[in-house]
Structure 1
Amino acid sequence: MIERVLQQCEEMIKQGSSSFYKAFAGLPSPRREAVHVIYAFCRLIDDSVDEPDKSPYSIHELREHFLHLEQAEGHFIWPAIRWLFRSYPQLKKEPFLLQMEGQLKDLVFTHYDTLEQLESYCYLVAGTVGEMLLPVLRDDGGDGVRASGIALGIGMQFVNIIRDVGEDLERRRRYIPLEVMERHRYSEKELTQGVVNDRFIAVLQELREVALGWFQKGLENIETYPPASGLAVELAAAYYAGILDSVAAGGYDVFRRRAYVSDESKLLIFQRTLARYALILGEQETAAGFR
């Protein structure tokens, strides 16, 4: 049964995020399967808020089942999560609960005034994912390691916010902080009308620099990860940074065009990153794991 539910989690990450799936595909078992489970649960949390009509649970039901995990039934995620905590007893429940708290925030707080507010939100919905992944990706911890994992998650969420400006407007959400818009003299009216001009480009470029700053902080101690985990983390960061390049290549029109990283670009990123790890991991073995 465990093999079946882990396969179902893998299908969720395959369908939901090819970048995330490919980045972590070369991890050894059971680290790889644990990443799939974490992604699948976070996907359910996210969908319960963004697409409640299609979600098998409300955010409140997910939280209640998670709090009573040993009794939770009715979906493959529950035996998968129980397997996750048995396999990684150092994993804490707090980041999962904070993640749900962040998603709940989307129901009541939809317009941000400051970068500080946005970064707090990004910690809840994405920095916590970094905290979840750390006990899976490495066997040690510490405040410095925790801070880097959180930073990577925050950076990735900033990328999501830049990419999804148009989609979020349709949901009546504005994550771009008002202070950033005012700094570049770009109005809320222009935003709702989907105006792409030099001022809007300046807004996104500022957010891009913030995202890249978080990535830089998140990769500061990458050499302390087990090599396969370090490679996976670097790939994930590079794939997400590639989305920023796609946004720029598309003229920053995030209202009418969803930016993505092509398979060709992912292959180039993979080859470039793998080259630095090949001597440690063995090129043929590592490449086979990421196919």
Structure 2
Amino acid sequence: MNLRHNALEVLKETSRTFYIPISMLPSGLLESVASAYLCMRAIDEVEDHPELDNSTKAKILHRISLNLQAATENSTLEDFSRDLSQYQEILPDVTLRVGEWAMLAPESIGPRIWDATAAMADRMAYWSETNWQIETESDLDQYTFSVAGAVGLLLSDLWAWHDGTQTNRSHAIGFGRGLQSVNIIRNHREDLRRGVSFIPKGWRMEDMHVYARRNLKLADQYTKSLSAGPALNFCKIPLTLAYGTLDIMALGKEKLTRSDVLALVNQATR
């Protein structure tokens, strides 16, 4: 079984935005970042699943978390997906194959990814149980840390593991929060259709744009502190796309076109 090949194929299908920067990473780091992305995509698909009630979402997320917490160097693919077979008719492939993604990273860093994914799954379960009640800016900060700021922290750990790159962890959280807040703005109408809003009570969309840009400034500082190398090459692409998305939505458009994305990626990789 070629875990790397399988992971890149699934990554290409699920997110071209992240497929491009991940596929450019050097061996070892590529597997680690792909593992982290796909493990978190696996649980994100549960959180966003349109046919599961919130209680069932929380149950599945807690189960995945416990499976990850129980993992050892001797764990098998099946150990990571224990008790998920009863949901195999409804869960997407990327979730059912969480064991493949968990075992993709080198064993010297894999457990850090298991830890981050387990913690995120439990936090997602909490938000599912509360029906994503976001009433204040503090609530929004909690949620964006839960599902994205913590990813920034994990990325910092992966850069340090790979080549000793050191980063400001507060800026790392802002990097994650900034990208997530852009996603919240972009997906707001779709979220409303399923009865969920991640925008605090009393906020206008303009306030959400201010929040996003404030966090993206931290993301700018995070990225500008990086020396030339794989971490910088990776971070520039999603950050450039986030700014591009905010700019076109401020003009009343819904999303970037494919040609917009390609132009921005070319700009980020010069």
TM-score, normalised via structure 1 length: 0.73
User: Are the aligned partners of 2:209 and 2:246 in contact in 1 as well (CA < 8 Å)?
Assistant: yes
Out of 255, 264, 267, the position equivalent to 1:269 is 264
User: Are the aligned partners of 1:112 and 1:177 in contact in 2 as well (CA < 8 Å)?
Assistant: yes
Which residue of the partner structure matches residue 96 of structure 1?
Answer: 117
Larger RCO of the pair (alpha carbons < 8 Å, separation 6+): 1
Q: Which amino acid aligns with 2:123?
A: G
User: Are the aligned partners of 1:152 and 1:215 in contact in 2 as well (CA < 8 Å)?
Assistant: yes
Matched, 1:174 2:197: yes
From the superposition, tell whether residues 23 and 208 of structure 1 become closer, same or farther in structure 2 (CA, over 3 Å).
farther
Which residue of the partner structure matches residue 218 of structure 2?
Answer: 217
Deviations 1:8-63 (A, max 9, x none): 22233222221122233322122122222111111111112221758999212211
Tell me, in whole angstroms, the C-alpha distance in 1 between the residues paired with 2:122 and 2:106: 20
Deviations 1:160-192 (A, max 9, x none): 111111221122111110042xxxxxxxxxxxx
Tell me, in whole angstroms, the C-alpha distance in 2 between the residues paired with 1:128 and 1:12: 23
Out of 122, 132, 135, the position equivalent to 2:154 is 132
From the superposition, tell whether residues 147 and 225 of structure 1 become closer, same or farther in structure 2 (CA, over 3 Å).
farther
Ranges in structure 2 where 5+ consecutive residues have no aligned partner: 79-95
Matched, 1:164 2:178: no
Q: Which amino acid aligns with 2:197?
A: R
Identity %: 21
Q: Which amino acid aligns with 1:134?
A: S
Deviations 1:70-98 (A, max 9, x none): 33533543244234251426836543233
Out of 115, 120, 142, the position equivalent to 1:120 is 142
User: Are the aligned partners of 1:137 and 1:225 in contact in 2 as well (CA < 8 Å)?
Assistant: no
- Shift of the alpha carbon at 1:5? 2.2
Q: Which amino acid aligns with 1:177?
A: P
User: Are the aligned partners of 1:96 and 1:132 in contact in 2 as well (CA < 8 Å)?
Assistant: no
Describe the SS at the equivalent of 2:128: coil
Tell me, in whole angstroms, the C-alpha distance in 1 between the residues paired with 2:135 and 2:226: 37
User: Are the aligned partners of 1:66 and 1:72 in contact in 2 as well (CA < 8 Å)?
Assistant: no
Tell me, in whole angstroms, the C-alpha distance in 1 between the residues paired with 2:107 and 2:234: 23
Out of 107, 123, 132, the position equivalent to 1:86 is 107
Tell me, in whole angstroms, the C-alpha distance in 2 between the residues paired with 1:33 and 1:158: 27
| Structure with larger Rg | 1
Ranges in structure 1 where 5+ consecutive residues have no aligned partner: 181-202, 252-258, 276-291
Which residue of the partner structure matches residue 232 of structure 2?
Answer: 230
Which residue of the partner structure matches residue 9 of structure 2?
Answer: 11
From the superposition, tell whether residues 80 and 95 of structure 1 become closer, same or farther in structure 2 (CA, over 3 Å).
closer
Deviates more, 1:156-165 or 1:212-221: 212-221
Tell me, in whole angstroms, the C-alpha distance in 2 between the residues paired with 1:226 and 1:136: 16
Tell me, in whole angstroms, the C-alpha distance in 2 between the residues paired with 1:123 and 1:168: 19
Which residue of the partner structure matches residue 207 of structure 1?
Answer: 208
Tell me, in whole angstroms, the C-alpha distance in 1 between the residues paired with 2:14 and 2:110: 27
- Shift of the alpha carbon at 1:232? 1.6
Q: Which amino acid aligns with 1:229?
A: A
Describe the SS at the equivalent of 1:84: coil
- Shift of the alpha carbon at 1:69? 1.9
Q: CA RMSD in A?
A: 2.7
- Shift of the alpha carbon at 1:111? 2.5
Tell me, in whole angstroms, the C-alpha distance in 2 between the residues paired with 1:206 and 1:85: 42
From the superposition, tell whether residues 82 and 33 of structure 1 become closer, same or farther in structure 2 (CA, over 3 Å).
closer
Q: How does 1:47-58 map to 2 (within 5 A)?
A: 47-51=45-49, 58=60
TM-score, normalised via structure 2 length: 0.78
User: Are the aligned partners of 1:128 and 1:150 in contact in 2 as well (CA < 8 Å)?
Assistant: yes
From the superposition, tell whether residues 60 and 102 of structure 1 become closer, same or farther in structure 2 (CA, over 3 Å).
closer
Deviates more, 1:106-115 or 1:116-125: 106-115
Describe the SS at the equivalent of 2:134: coil
Tell me, in whole angstroms, the C-alpha distance in 2 between the residues paired with 1:260 and 1:33: 30
Tell me, in whole angstroms, the C-alpha distance in 2 between the residues paired with 1:220 and 1:37: 26
Number of equivalent positions: 243
Tell me, in whole angstroms, the C-alpha distance in 1 between the residues paired with 2:152 and 2:61: 21
User: Are the aligned partners of 2:134 and 2:197 in contact in 1 as well (CA < 8 Å)?
Assistant: yes
Describe the SS at the equivalent of 1:224: coil
Tell me, in whole angstroms, the C-alpha distance in 2 between the residues paired with 1:161 and 1:45: 17
Tell me, in whole angstroms, the C-alpha distance in 1 between the residues paired with 2:256 and 2:3: 29
